[in-house]
Chains A and B, each alone.
Chain A
Amino acid sequence: MGLSTARVRGYTSVVKSTPSSPQESEVDADQAIIDRVFAGDRDAFGLLISRYSDVLYRHAVGMTGSPDDAADILQNSFIKAYQHLGEVRGRFDAWVFRIVANGCKDWLKNIRRTHLSYEEDDQPSGYQTPDEELDRGELRGDLDRALAALPVSLREAFVMKHVEGRSYEDMAELLDTTVGALKMRVHRAREALQKLLEEKAA
């Protein structure tokens, strides 16, 4: 199989020195799963897929605007993660996030579409009345088009903050930058989105 057996220990100490990391129990649980995979229990990798596929899928849909392409990116990313599992340093969730994020950026470089659709999402909504549903459908399309018009770094920051619901501290760790820089990106993304949405409404 293509799974590298080169492993480097010291994972726990890296995590412990990082105060903005997720719960240590989750990180340790990921490490335990990775150890099982390396011990020959290949199916244990499915536990990592179950644990992180939803949040990574939301990121990919937010970045691409296409549920089908997001699913493809997610699938390819997890296969790549499995093949390179021996290269994990630190948090598995941060490492696999970067694989998915890079997959999205590669996709964006290749895509020529400017109009992105959200039609295939049939998730239940929190809106109560038909009028609100109609209003929501319109906003959904407008928001997707506005997001698609943003530069990648602003779109990424907005999606991570608002669609994935991440803290600035977590975002900073995942993107290897500062909280201040990310706040600036999110604020710029909001300003740009507001302008685009107001232009649409005018």
Chain B
Amino acid sequence: MMHDNLDPHVSGHVEPAKGERAEIRDESVTDREVPVAGASMPAIIHAWLDGEPVNEPALQAAGSYPLWRRVQAETVDRRRMQAPATIRGAIMEAIRKEG
């Protein structure tokens, strides 16, 4: 039976120095390529989501249409979200305190 060699110097993995850890963590929330292989969306779905005119029967026949119809309904719903009513007062109060 084969076992993984956990020695970092043998496996090629080198533990980062202490100062490098923060940089590595940052990478997880900044730009990086996302592998999207296997999740091919039909062009007609992109066109529809971009607000372009599309052939309705062809759109409804597209495989991922039901998913994106639901996502679209959810995101449109979120457009009604409003800032808390208290926020304007809180900001103006902070500005007044500043003098």
Contacts and interface: CB of A to CB of B under 8 A. Distances in A.
A58 B75 CA distance: 11
A194 B41 contact: yes
Interface string B63-79: 01001101111111111
A148 to B, nearest CB: 9
Interface of B: 25-26, 29-34, 36, 38-41, 45-46, 49-50, 64, 67-68, 70-84, 87-88, 90-92, 94-96, 98-99
8 contacts: A1-B95, A57-B82, A61-B78, A108-B29, A139-B70, A152-B31, A191-B41, A192-B36
Nearest to B22: A109
B38 A195 contact: yes
Given A58-B78, A140-B74, A168-B50, 5 more contacts: A53-B83, A54-B82, A124-B80, A135-B70, A188-B34
Contact of A198 (B49, B67, B74): B67
Interface residues of A, number: 60
Interface stretch (A17-25, A74-82, A86-94): A74-82
Contacts of A57: 81-84, 87
